[in-house]
Amino acid sequence: MRKPTSSRDRDEIRPEYDFSGGVRGKYADRYRKGTNVVLLDPEIADAFPDSDSVNAALRALLAIAKSAGQRKRH
């Protein structure tokens, strides 16, 4: 059975949760510049060892799509 907590116990902050030395908005500008997190399905993620390879594949796909789009207009 649990011991009832006193109001003194509830008002104390654990040392690991003390943010009195924190800086408000420290990363706000970095966040505003752009964050884009994409979750890949496991079988897709297995095909790419890192984010550089994903970006290279997407750039190649984009180039193919652009070239196919230009051919259709002519």
Give 57's contacts (C-beta < 8 A, 6+ positions apart): 48
pLDDT digits (tens, 9 = 90+) for 21-43: 899 999 888 888 887 788 899 99
Cite the beta strand spans of the chain per DSSP E.
none
pLDDT digits (tens, 9 = 90+) for 2-26: 766 665 556 677 888 888 889 999 9
Predicted confidence (pLDDT) at residue 64 exceeds the cutoff of 90: yes
57 neighbors 48 (Cβ within 8 angstroms): yes
